[in-house]
Amino acid sequence: MAYLIALIAPLTWGSTYALVSLSLDGLSPYWVACWRALPAGLLLLLLRPRLPELGWGRLLLLAFCNIAAFFALLFLGAYRLPGAVAGTLGATLPLILLLLAWLLDGSRPSLRWVLLALLGLAGVLLLLNPSARLDPIGVACALAAALLIGISARWMQRWPLGDLLTLTGWQLLLGGLMLIPIAWTLAGPMPLPSAHALPGLSYLVLVNTALAYWAWLWGLRRLGAQVMSMLALTNPVVAVSLGVLLVGETLGPLQWGGIALILLSLLLMKLPLKRRAA
């Protein structure tokens, strides 16, 4: 059950790229990021109207790295790259976390976790279409977004977070407020979303953000950053699968082999946990 709840986050985040292509194309990525964060934060705080237990300094830092900067970079990458490419670059998260632990804590990663991360990343690389357009700015944004998630995941494992629903709501609210001046400066005054974009924005706020961010924090607390980073490998699988089902993309034998490698890496990660529990 814990894995099913934790998977809500990467599975729904994998739909972001198809969502942009289908209903949010042509909108400013900065304002889409703002529309995603602010309503979701207000909704969660209406459900749990409390002050945060985490200190304001740490909360503002999390809101900037985990929401404001991450959302801006994520949507820039999503608008400038095909979904498979953006998902592939985000799949570097397991290796980023291992590298951060090694450089900042002196904690040398175990061979098992390195091999699992490399196996999953190899599967994701096979999903990548060799003819895909690699926009340098989009690549830099996607990699920077993955780095921010890795850094904030380390912080959230070390800090006393308190109630997760409250923390998620405050992060989204504060991060959304930070995005307003960024969006206004880079994209001009806020445009009104069209009726065509409203269903996509509603899904983005309710499922892709409010529910998914709570599930991500829940998974970090229950399963740890390493397990959650491996589960994040399902993100590009969803991105590519939705590209096939909704956007008209096709998969070849290498792409199917990549999906098999990703599922194998997740299976090998989970089996030792069962034995230890037994």
Interatomic CA distance for residues 92 and 187, integer angstroms: 29
| Residue 175 pLDDT | 93
What's the pTM? 0.78
| Residue 86 pLDDT | 61
**Regions in the chain scoring below 70 on pLDDT:** 78, 82-91, 109, 127-134, 243-244, 246-251, 270-278
Interatomic CA distance for residues 145 and 73, integer angstroms: 6
| Residue 82 pLDDT | 62
| Residue 177 pLDDT | 94
Tell me what percent of the residues of the chain surpass a pLDDT of 70.
85
DSSP, residue by residue, 87-155: HHHHTTHHHHHHHHHHHHH--PPPHHHHHHHHHHHHHHHHHS-TT----HHHHHHHHHHHHHHHHHHHH
For the record, the structure tokens of 165 come out as 């629903």
Q: pLDDT tens, 80-89?
A: 776 556 666 6
| Residue 57 pLDDT | 92
Cα torsion angle, 191, 193, 194, 195, sign: negative
| Residue 232 pLDDT | 75
**How many domains, in total, are found in the chain?**
1
Owning domain of residue 202: 2-277
| Residue 172 pLDDT | 93
Indicate the length of the chain as a whole number. Answer: 278
Element (H, E) at 226: helix 225-231
